[in-house]
Amino acid sequence: MIKPIGSDVLQPLFVYDQDKHQELTRESETLPSVVISSQAAGNAVMMGGGYFNPLKGFMTVGDAMGCAENMKMSDGSFFPVPVLCLLEDVEGIKGAKRIALRDPNVDGNPVLAVMDVNTIETVSDEQMAVMTEKVYGTSDGAHPGVDAFNSQGRMAVSGPIQVLNFSYFQTEFPDTFRTAAEIRNEVMERGWNTIVAFQTRNPMHRAHEELCKMAMEAVEADGVIIHMLLGKLKPGDIPAPVRDASIRKMAELYFPPNSVMITGYGFDMLYAGPREAVLHAYFRQNMGATHFIIGRDHAGVGDYYGAFDAQTIFEAEVPEGVLEIQMFNADHTAYSKKLNRVVMMRDAPDHSKEDFVLLSGTAVREMLGQGIAPPPEFSRPEVAEILMNYYTSTQKT
């Protein structure tokens, strides 16, 4: 199996030893504590599950700036984005060597992790501006990722953490949420060696389904891991339970047995385009995937990124040798009326736009909201039914 990044074996930060977990839980209730941001909570969950291996905790400002500017921390370790715990107020933890980090996304704000405090630093406006521009490629406050990043505080608390739970992801998505360690274990149990990973924050239409199959065939994969984001999205995106149901139905009916794993991870979407694509590849290697599909406008939003920027960044900016996982670069994929099958547009140079079944996201949402199923060339009817039920129900409330 492919090795995780930076170590021979995965080193998740969740405390699995039961006695140690209970002891740490008791201690956490006596420590100075602070409610962290949703973005920081997602970072803690990802570190807890081993996805951000070999990080041991939240970065210093210097390390975060290095990651933003050249994807390297001060010790030379590769990481594609800053992993910060930014707070608005640190009065309650000043002088503390050990603190409890509380979950902003669960009622009662239970302790998510315990941190050994190394530094508490002020992040300057200039530093925030540099990190924003480097990671998101824009400083536009209308960009949902830029807005979320800059809506946090300006006090950065760094240090190693021990994670005590996986926030709401394990309780709300018990059949879907998996840690990187759990996915590795299941891959080994299935006997898979070559594994394609597919990232999604949306339901999967026919083109997505066929893209997974194309990638599997091209690299002679044993299986595909459909790995969906379960955290916060921008307004208007389809909720995780609906996505989960539609993807499971598609996999059940249209993939061969033992060829697909449907899993999810606990993280808020950054919408950072190329940089987020690198992060996606990073933690897919940690979960055991050997190949990763990078699609058109991967992890993008609006018109902030070029259609293939998330593919070219791997050649242009990612340091050589830091990733073993291989990219499967995909073009826009659609149903060809000429060939009566789904193809990548680059593989059909004799086609015009009219030769494909193409529908905009707006048009699809309007159809589903009116109880009209998109054509079967675009969406499997069983998937369309789940989405129609969702859209029509939201219009009634």
Cα distance between residue 324 and residue 327, in whole Å? 10
Cα distance between residue 167 and residue 42, in whole Å? 8
Q: Which residues of 107-134 are buried (b: 16+ CB within 10 A; e: fewer)?
A: eebebbbbbebeebbebeeebbebbbeb
E strands, the chain, are 33-35, 57-58, 86-87, 98-102, 111-116, 119-122, 155-163, 195-200, 223-229, 260-265, 291-294, 326-329, 333-336, 341-344, 356-357
201 annotated active-site: yes
Output the CA angle 149-132-78, nearest 5 degrees.
Answer: 100
Cα distance between residue 232 and residue 240, in whole Å? 9
Do strands 195-200 and 155-163 pair parallel, antiparallel, or not at all (unpaired)? unpaired
Residue 247 CB burial class (10 angstroms; 0-12, 13-18, ≥19): buried
Cα distance between residue 161 and residue 278, in whole Å? 24
202 annotated active-site: yes
Cα distance between residue 199 and residue 295, in whole Å? 9
> Please, are residues 270 and 233 in contact by the beta-carbon 8 Å criterion?
no
Handedness of CA 53, 10, 50, 310 (dihedral sign): positive
> Please, are residues 221 and 194 in contact by the beta-carbon 8 Å criterion?
yes
Candidates 118, 193, 202, 389; catalytic one: 202
* Residue 258 amino acid letter: N
In residues, how long is the chain?
Answer: 397
Cα distance between residue 143 and residue 151, in whole Å? 12
Tell how far CA 23 is from the center of its chain.
Answer: 31
Candidates 98, 154, 190, 201; catalytic one: 201
End-to-end CA distance of the chain: 48
Report the catalytic residues.
201-202
